[in-house]
């Protein structure tokens, strides 16, 4: 019997992994500062639920086929409904932003705003807000 191979179509991210140098510090940051729901620990890894996505933070394995270093270039973009409110709340919690909220693009139906910060291991996190365009609004 011949097996047919279906076309591959990847369209949903289930999990994102970030390499950190200090697991306990990173775990506290994602749980206590960013308010993510902690799921479980597994060895040198901690898992969090973020909407439909699962976030894995771990110290990595230097013997792995593709070793990763903390802050190695992955950027997570989190959708927020009100960037100004989230930005202010995180600043109150001591978060230093690498880029303050700024307008990135004016789309036909909305304006795209971004802000960037780093976690304790140096990973870049983006906050993204799409604000509906209204007549006469010039943000």
- Lowest-pLDDT range, 5-14, 20-29, 76-85? 5-14
Residue 139 pLDDT more than 50? no
- E strands, the chain, where? 15-19, 37-42, 45-50, 53-58, 75-79, 97-106, 110-118, 124-132
pLDDT range class, residue 33, cuts 50, 70, 90: very high
Question: Strands across the sheet with 75-79, in order?
Answer: 75-79, 124-132, 110-118, 97-106
Question: Domains in the chain, start-ordered, CATH in brackets?
Answer: 15-60+71-132 (3.10.180.10)
H/E stretch holding 1: none
**Residue range 56-74, pLDDT digits in tens:** 999 876 555 444 555 565 7
120 with 29: CB under 8 angstroms?
Answer: yes
- Lowest-pLDDT range, 9-13, 117-121, 128-132? 9-13
DSSP string, 101-138: EEEEEE-SSEEEEEEEEE-TT--EEEEEEEEEP-TT--
Residue 8 pLDDT more than 70? no
Give residue 71's pLDDT: 56
Query: pTM for the whole thing?
Result: 0.68
**Residue range 78-90, pLDDT digits in tens:** 988 889 999 999 9
Q: Give the position of tokens 């620990």.
A: 41
Give residue 43's pLDDT: 87
> Region 43-52: what's the mean pLDDT?
92
CA distance 23 to 40: 13
């Amino acid at each position: 019997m011949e097996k047919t191979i279906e076309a591959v179509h990847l369209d949903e991210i289930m999990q994102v992994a970030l390499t950190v140098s200090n697991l306990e510090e990173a775990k506290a940051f994602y749980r206590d500062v960013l308010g993510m729901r902690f799921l479980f620990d597994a060895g040198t890894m901690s898992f969090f639920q973020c909407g439909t996505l699962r976030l894995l933070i771990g110290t990595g394995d230097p013997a792995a086929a593709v070793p990763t270093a903390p802050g190695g270039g992955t950027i997570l973009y989190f959708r927020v409904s009100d960037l100004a409110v989230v930005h202010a709340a995180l600043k109150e919690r001591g978060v230093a932003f690498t880029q303050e909220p700024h307008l990135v693009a004016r789309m036909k139906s909305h304006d795209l705003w971004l802000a960037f910060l780093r976690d304790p291991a140096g990973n870049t996190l983006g906050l993204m807000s799409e604000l509906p365009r209204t007549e006469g609004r010039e943000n």
